[in-house]
Amino acid sequence: MGENNFQPIAPLLAFLIPVAPRRAKFKWELACRLLHQTLKSIQNSADGNFCVVVVGNEPPDFDVALDSRFCFVSVPPPPAHPPPAIAGVLDKLAKITAAWNHTKAKWNPRYVMKLDADDLISSKLVGWLAQNSGAPGYLISQGWLWRMNLRPVLQRTETLDRICGSCLISRSDLVEKTGPFRTETEGVVLSEANANFAKADQYSLIPGSATSTLLANDSHQRYAAQFAYLGHQLTAVPFPAVVYRMGNADSISGAKWHIHSLRMLLGAVRRMRPITPGVRREFMLEAR
């Protein structure tokens, strides 16, 4: 939709997409197919004022450069770093940093969004940002959960930021600002008291956290607290802007559907909606 509206110089929004290495994927072909769907959902944006940088150790099995706004950046494989879960997060953050350095040098966008390689965005997001830009950052708490074993339906959520990292748009002059943002998610060893604090409070900054940039951390539940630390407040995106895939066998996030009570099950069912043609077009959902 926005393919003829290229604005490669100083675009409004840059999407930074890290790709896990082939050796970390159970099904590389599936990972490539999901990434291609992610890129097509971005290309489908009604407003074409964006750029996209995909970063990986090896290119996927298709040409990432769907048009001049898309590019692939290759980085060397990370060193071994046990345990594997932390290694995966650190690899992801290193790739996001590499993507940002490339993006800053090539395009110098006004805003930045980290996007997982299998999530999908609304065709309305870039245009909405163009009409509402100026805030330091935007939090996407409204979205859709797409469970791979329930393909015909989506589940509405108003707490996307609790479970999905594809939930923040940051003004580019803030992404290199630093603070106590790096937690045990990124391998920081906390004291028992601070670890207990982290479990009890999932939204505040954690005492004992290490210093990192706003961009290079994966504590998405704490984004509002991070912005507050820097003296800013996040603005809410007022519509479901992201589809978060769940139950993808090849995802490194390991997100699963945990139903702890009948009430939770009934609540999830009430939020489910059939995938309409309009929603399918908005997010470029695959036909099957």
pLDDT band at 266 (very low <50, low <70, confident <90, very high): low
For the ranges 116-120, 142-146, 245-249, 251-255, which has the lowest average pLDDT? 251-255
Mean pLDDT score, 240-245: 96
For the ranges 37-46, 90-99, 257-266, which has the lowest average pLDDT? 257-266
pLDDT band at 127 (very low <50, low <70, confident <90, very high): very high
Backbone φ and ψ for 244, nearest 5 degrees, come out as -105, 115
Report the C-alpha dihedral over residues 203, 207, 209, 215, rounded to 10 degrees.
40
pTM of the predicted model as reported, rounded to 2 decimal places = 0.90
Q: How far is it, in rounded angstroms, from Cα 41 to Cα 19?
A: 17
Q: Is the pLDDT of residue 285 over 80?
A: yes
Q: Is the pLDDT of residue 185 over 50?
A: yes
Chain mean position to CA 28: 20
Domains of the chain: 13-177+235-283 (3.90.550)
Among 156, 143, 163, residue whose Cα is nearest residue 274:
156
According to the model, what pLDDT value does residue 10 have?
86
Residues 120/43, Cβ–Cβ less than 8 Å? no
Token pair 């600002």 is at which residue? 177
Reported as type and span, the H/E element at residue 265 is helix 262-270
Q: Is the pLDDT of residue 86 over 50?
A: yes
Residue scoring higher pLDDT (253 or 104): 104
Q: Could you tell me what percent of the chain has a pLDDT over 70?
A: 87
According to the model, what pLDDT value does residue 72 have?
98
- Reported as a single tens digit per residue, the pLDDT across 189-216 is 999 999 999 999 999 999 999 999 999 9
According to the model, what pLDDT value does residue 4 have?
46
The whole-chain average pLDDT of the chain stands at: 90
Q: How far is it, in rounded angstroms, from Cα 60 to Cα 12?
A: 26
Q: Could you tell me what percent of the chain has a pLDDT over 90?
A: 78
pLDDT band at 281 (very low <50, low <70, confident <90, very high): very high
Q: How far is it, in rounded angstroms, from Cα 161 to Cα 201?
A: 15
Q: Is the pLDDT of residue 93 over 90?
A: yes
Residues 37/280, Cβ–Cβ less than 8 Å? no
For the ranges 6-10, 36-40, 112-116, which has the lowest average pLDDT? 6-10
